[in-house]
Amino acid sequence: MRHVIRRILFYICAVWVAITLDFFIPRLAPGDPVAAIVGKMSLKGYVSPEMKQTLAATFGLDTHDPLWVQYFKYLGNLFHGNLGNSIQYFPTPVAQIIGQDIWWSIMLGGVAVILGFIIGCFLGIIVAWKRGSAVDAVLSPAMNFLSAIPYFWLALLSLYLFSYLLNWFPLSGGYDSANIDPGWTFDFISSVIQHAFLPALTLVVASLAGWMLTMRNSMITTLSEDYVLMAKAKGLSDRRVMFWYAARNAVLPNITGFAIAIGAIVGGQLLTEMVFSYPGIGYALLQAVNQQDYAMLQSIFLIITLAVLGANFLADMLYVFLDPRVRQERSA
Amino acid sequence: MKIQEVNSPASAVPVALLPDDPLHTRFLNVLLAIWRAMTSSRRVAVGSAIVGFFILIGLIGPFFMPYNPNATSHLFITPPSPTHWLGTTVVGEDIFSQLIYGTRTSVFWGLGTGIMVTLLSVVVGLIGGYFGGWIDDVLTLLTNVSLVLPALPLAIVLAAYFPRGPLTISFVIVFTNWAWQARVLRSQTLSMRSREFVTAARMSGESSLRIIFHEIFPNEIGLVVAGFVSTTIYVVLTWAALEFLGLGDGTIPSWGSLLYWAQQAGALGGGLWWWFIPPGACIAILGAGLSLINFGIDEIADPRLRIERPANVEKHKKAVKLEKAQRNGDALLPL
């Protein structure tokens, strides 16, 4: 129980650090950001006084309050879910835009993470069981190479190959927005699947190596345990020993990884969404960077961080539940 | 995946270190051990050759570039030809020259940033692990908080606020990635602290900093090298990703900025494969070289992870059979 309380305190501390970072980063930035942005924006079109004020508020330059008063005002706004207004979609509140985009990310990332986890773990189990065989000798180095490929390049290549050359998949977007209206119709859903297929595939392929190699290493350690030998000696079938004796214990490090990956899907597909112009939260973050929409930028960072922290916390608790050694605090 | 790295650190890289030896002898021993590690495993040898090749290109390549990488010409979007080996961009820049110059930028900023990350984590890890007490508590808390904050989004937000350029990217990467190695080094230092040679050094009145960096640090050099290699892989990939997202200085040719401009010019939809395939391939090959070194180090450290060739097993069986046959033969010999 002491362990659990310590973890909770730790995560409260981490959330506080994230929120504080979010507050201080724009205030530490060199120069006068508002003037710089207004200058750039007035090249593109008219900048209304309201927009200037929003910008100044983002940087905390609209008041003469001391920094600590600004800080507590900022905290108060956060607790009320008031994340400020977007500049690129002025004056839509940031929270509303994020609320729309986040579902695209969660759907795409969720499917990809679950598939990658299942396939990767399964491959890892097989490769470890047949260690030294042709499967192992081919798959393990191949996966090592795969994990060194920059993900966004893999995405670019597959987009070029499957969408541009072969024309199997659309080049961009989340659905065919020109011809289909969103709704629970067959056309819309099939269009969404068609658009999500290639991004999801690249995500699965890119994450496969990590799951597989972790599983292989942990499985190899487990296979040399006495209880596995005992199970074999009892004459249990290979499949039973492999899955119910060895893999069940070896999967532990991957379970934590899985919980963390689930948290990371909120913001983890920045590069995927950029390459495929997929309308999720990562794409929104990049647009915010390019359009210098700072309120949006900070809010997205905060949402992503909170999701990741939440998932990490969940992973920690899961570990306490799954591994009795942690509960009894034998391993610090 | 990183969790696993922490669980099985490459601490057992065989480095023969006797604390009595003078410092330069110890240093030579370390170099010798690195050389032995490089040549003993085929993976490490291949990986080192790849990394060495890129370093060489980065050092001398720019002196042999066929064109000025930033010079535009009237030859827009030409596919690869004998005059332009990798074709040209939409404003007629020679992509081969840009790639060569970009190798210098990407490799050296990547290695340099890798060194900076490693230095920071060595300082934090060793000081925390050695001193213990409240210093360790504070540093461990910082490390753990930094570990749970998402690195790439934080890097993007930071880079968005500061002036574009390699220094910003370098700083942002150092700031978001030092924690993994610091944690590994801290736990290693913690176990090193109670060894006899440290106690002896303390008894003989050496200062704490001297003990940390002259006595303990040389014993963790294997771990530091392994950490440096895996960090550098991550740095090179993150660097390219940040530049690809437009957070770098687009006027300096590098692998990432080549990809950025290719993306901006719609090279993908236009079928200009010669623009975005070479820089990505360079990143992938350099990354593969570094991870070959890394897996080699891991295998030296943990023999269980090696892929055993079935051929060896057979040879072994044959040898056993032969031995048995001989023994039987011996037994059959008339006394």
Per residue in B268-280, pLDDT tens?
A: 777 788 888 888 8
Residue A64 falls within a domain, yes or no? yes
DSSP SS3 for A100: helix
Instruction: Choose the final residue of a domain: A79, A104, A131.
Output: A79
A70 with A104, same domain? Answer: no
Of A50, A79, A108, which residue is a domain's last? Answer: A79
pLDDT higher for B34 or A253? A253
Q: Both A65 and A214 in a single domain?
A: no
Minimum Cα–Cα distance from A163: chain B residue: B269
Peptide bond into B279 cis (omega under 30): no
Residues A168 and A56 in one domain: no
Q: What pLDDT does A307 receive?
A: 85
Q: Which carries the bigger pLDDT value, residue A16 or residue B297?
A: A16
> Would you state the structure tokens that stand for residue B135, as one six-digit string?
């210093």
C-alpha span between B329 and B323 (Å, rounded): 10
Q: Would you state the pLDDT for residue B226?
A: 84
Cα–Cα distances (Å) from B35 to A17, A243, B207, in that order, read 43, 42, 32
Q: Per residue in A160-202, pLDDT tens? A: 888 888 878 887 777 777 677 777 777 778 888 888 888 889 8
A320 pLDDT more than 90: no
What's residue A157's pLDDT? Answer: 86
ipTM of the complex: 0.80
Q: What is the pLDDT of residue A316?
A: 82
CATH of the domain at A139: 1.10.3720.10
Residue in A closest to B310 by C-alpha: A132
C-alpha–C-alpha distance, residues A102 and A88, integer Å: 18
Q: Are B287 and A150 an interchain contact pair (Cβ–Cβ within 8 Å)?
A: yes
Is A330 contained in some domain? no
Q: How many domains are there within chain A?
A: 2
User: Is residue A108 one of the residues assigned to a domain?
Assistant: yes
Domain check: are A75 and A99 in the same one? no
Task: Say yes or no: A240 and A138 in one domain.
Answer: yes
Indicate if A164 and A284 belong to the same structural domain: yes
Percent of chain B with pLDDT over 70: 81
How is B177-236 classified by DSSP, letter by letter?
HSHHHHHHHHHHHHHHTTSHHHHHHHHTT--HHHIIIIIIGGGGHHHHHHHHHHHHHHHH
Residues A72 and A162 in one domain: no
In a domain, A247, yes or no: yes
Residues 6+ apart with CB under 8 A from B26: B17, B18, B218
Of A40-44, A196-200, B223-227, give the lowest mean pLDDT range: A40-44
pLDDT of amino acid B14? 46
Q: Is B334 left (phi over 0), alpha (psi -120 to 50) or beta?
A: beta
Alpha carbons A302 and B297: distance in angstroms, whole number:
38
Amino acid at A67: L
CB pairs under 8 A between A and B: 158
Q: Which of A79, A114, A143 is the last residue of a domain?
A: A79
Kindly state whether residues A148 and A292 are assigned to the same domain. yes
Would you state the pLDDT for residue B121? 93
Give me the helices (H) in chain B, please: 2-7, 23-40, 42-60, 95-131, 133-148, 151-161, 166-177, 179-192, 196-203, 208-210, 221-244, 255-264, 273-301, 310-332
Please state, in angstroms and rounded to a whole number, the distance separating the CA atoms of residues A305 and A22: 10
A61 located within any domain: yes
Whether residue A155 has pLDDT greater than 60: yes
**Are both A141 and A56 inside the same structural domain?**
no
Instruction: Give me the pLDDT at residue B329, please.
Output: 44
Q: Which of A30, A156, A309 is nearest residue B280 as measured by Cβ atoms?
A: A156
Residue B178 CA neighbour count, 13 Å, CB half: 22
Whether the CB-CB separation of B299 and B43 falls below 8 Å is answered with yes
- Do B269 and A164 lie within an 8 Å CB cutoff? yes
Per-residue pLDDT, B55: 92
**Residue A291 domain-assigned (yes or no):** yes
The mean pLDDT value for B171-196 works out to: 88
Instruction: Over range B68-75, report the average pLDDT.
Output: 77
Average pLDDT along chain B: 79
Name the residue with higher pLDDT: A140 or B146.
B146
3-state SS, residue B16: coil
Rounded to whole angstroms, the Cα distance separating A271 from B241 reads 8
Q: How far from the centroid of its chain's Cα atoms is residue A195's Cα?
A: 19
My answer on whether A49 and A100 are in the same domain is no
Residue B94, helix vs strand vs coil? strand
A5-14, A116-125, A144-153, A280-289: which range is least confident on average?
A144-153
> Does position A64 have pLDDT exceeding 80, yes or no?
no
**Would A232 be classed as within a structural domain?**
yes
Q: Is the pTM of this model over 0.90?
A: no
pLDDT at B54 over 90: yes
Q: Please say if the pLDDT value at position B196 is more than 80.
A: yes
> Which residues are CB-contacts of A257 (< 8 A; sequence separation ≥ 6)?
A210, A211, A214, B1, B3
pLDDT(B320) > 70: no
Q: Give the integer Cα–Cα distance in Å for B111 and B129.
A: 26
Question: Which of these, A179, A174, A181, A177, lies nearest to A195 by C-alpha position?
Answer: A174
Percentage, residues of chain A above pLDDT 90: 3
What does the pLDDT average to over B319-326? 50
Contacts of A113 (CB under 8 A, 6+ apart): A203, A207, A258, A261, A262, A265
Residues A181 and A315 in one domain: yes
- How far is residue B145's CA from residue B126's CA, in Å, rounded to a whole number? 18
Query: Which A positions 252-311 lie with beta carbon below 8 A of chain B?
Result: 253, 256-257, 264, 267-268, 270-271, 274, 285-286, 289-290, 292, 294, 297-298, 300-301, 304-305, 308-309
Is A85 inside any structural domain? no
Q: Which domain holds residue A297?
A: 94-323
Query: How far is Cα B138 from Cα B128, in angstroms, rounded to an integer?
Result: 8
Pair A208, A66 in one domain: no
